[in-house]
Every structure is written in structure tokens, then in C-alpha cells.
Amino acid sequence: MNIRNPLVAILRGITPDEVLAHIDVLATAGFTTVEIPLNSPDWQTSIAIAVAHYGQTIHIGAGTVTAVSEVNLLSAFKCSFILTPNTDPSVIDAARDAGMTTCIGCHTASEAFVAIHHGASALKIFPAGELGPGYIRALKAVLPTHIPLYAVGGIRPDNLADYLNAGCIGAGLGSDLYRAGQTVNQTAKNAQAFIEAWNACKQQ
């Protein structure tokens, strides 16, 4: 995941025949990190296509990773990172051993420290939109300062700054960026709104 632009585009529900077109407009807007969740149709093909075409210029990773067998397959696909919806030490260990960056889903301080103990690269605080920036601020106060936090779930252009100001280094962008079946033009429009919000945050 790219710290210079720590916005992760989540393409949940993307299909192989449309994945390249949507990543293209995301890259044009300025995104450098794309996640394809494993509950998308034919995700294996979509990830393989994305890595083959954009793996040298865009960080292509997988989301909703819940099993060691999935980690092994994704490593073979040369995915650069995984995001999980939960805190599973066996998945963290497998991804770490494969040399993959990990952003591990957690909700509580206990889950966060389990993930850190097993070598998580970053923590995905989910569902951030329901928890609110105040929760992020309180959680960050007890976590090691070197662990990056990403807010995921309910992040929009108009509230992105709230979560960054609360201590998150970046955010995963879901349905407010991409919804299954939407047009490439809509993805481009949504992407531009998030990039403008990110640029505004940097100027604060």
C-alpha cells in the first residue's frame, strides 16, 4: 500500500470483463492501490488480469481474505497485499511468511494487539463509519505508534478528513467509490471526488 496516496480502492463485485477499465480510470485519477475482494464473481481471474496488466505500476491486492489456502493462492498470483475482515492469526502468519503486506481487520483493542503480535503490517478498523472518528482516536491512544491504521466502511469524501485527523493514515473506499455494475464514468467521477478530498486533507 502506498503511503503517498493511502486511499485503497475496493472493487467489490467487479467482474473480469470490466476490471481493467475501472482500474484504468482509478489510476488516471491518482489511485495507486486497488483491492479486489474475494467475494467478487470469478475473483481469481480478475486478480490475475489486474496483476498482469497493472502489477508493475499499481499495488493490486485482495480483500475479504479469510483462509490460509486463499493466502497461498494469492501469493502465487503475486498479489502485493491482503486485507482481512477479521483477526485470524493463521492467515496473518501465512501472509507474513509469503512476504505479503497485511492489513488486518479488527474492531477491539484485543483484536488489534493479536494482529500486531502476529506481525500485521497495518490494521483495518472496521466498520469505521459505524464506530466514528472518536473511537479511532481512543483506540489509537493505546496502540503502538508505528502501526498504521486504515479506516474502512462508511468512508465518504465528506468525512475522509475526520478519520485522517483522528489518526488513520489512510482509508479503504467501498460503495461510495464503486458499486457492482456501475459505469466506468461513475467510477471516474467518484474517484475524482475522493482524490480532491485527499488533496484538501494534505493542505490542512
Rounded to whole angstroms, the Cα distance separating 159 from 201 reads 11
pLDDT per residue as tens digits for the range 135-172: 999 999 999 999 999 999 999 999 999 999 999 999 99
pLDDT per residue as tens digits for the range 57-91: 999 999 999 999 999 999 999 998 999 999 999 99
Choose, from 18, 70, 111, 124, the residue flagged as catalytic.
124
Rounded to whole angstroms, the Cα distance separating 65 from 84 reads 5
Q: Which overall architecture, per CATH, does domain 7-203 show? A: Alpha-Beta Barrel (3.20)
Angle subtended at Cα 167 by Cα 165 and Cα 170, rounded to the nearest 5 degrees: 90
**pLDDT in the model for residue 4:** 61
> Is there a contact between 85 and 103 (Cβ–Cβ < 8 Å)?
no
> Is there a contact between 7 and 157 (Cβ–Cβ < 8 Å)?
no
111 is annotated as an active-site residue: no
Return left, alpha or beta for 194; rule: phi > 0 is left, psi -120 to 50 is alpha, else beta.
Answer: alpha
* H helical segments located in 18-127: 19-29, 43-54, 68-76, 89-97, 109-117
Using pLDDT thresholds of 50, 70 and 90, give the confidence band for residue 1.
low
202 is annotated as an active-site residue: no
**pLDDT in the model for residue 202:** 77
| Single pTM value for the model | 0.95
